[in-house]
Structure 1
Amino acid sequence: MEAPAVHVPDGFLDAPTSVATAVVAAAGVAVALRGARRELDDRTAPMAGLVATFVFAGQMLNFPVGAGTSGHLIGGAMAAVLVGPWTAILCLTVVLLVQALFMADGGITAIGTNITLMALVGVVVGWLVFRLAQRLLPNRLSMVAPAAAVGAYVSVPAAALAFTGLFAVGGTTPLDIGTVLTAMLGWHLVIGLGEAAITGLVVASVVAVRPDLCYGARRPLAARGLTIRPAVAS
Structure 2
Amino acid sequence: MAGIFHGITALAAVLGIVLQIMATSESPAQAAAPAHAWANFFGSAGLQLNALVFVMALSLLMEPARSGGPAWRALRVITLAGSLLLLLLQFTPFRGIPDFAALTSTAVFADRLLHYAVPILVITSWLLFGPRPRITPLRVLWSLVYPAAWLLGSLVRGAATGWYPYPLLDVGLAGIGPVLVNCLLVLLLWLGTAFVFLALDLVMGREPDGYLPATGTSWASQGPVR
TM-score between both structures, scaled by the size of structure 2 = 0.39
Q: Which has the larger radius of gyration?
A: 2
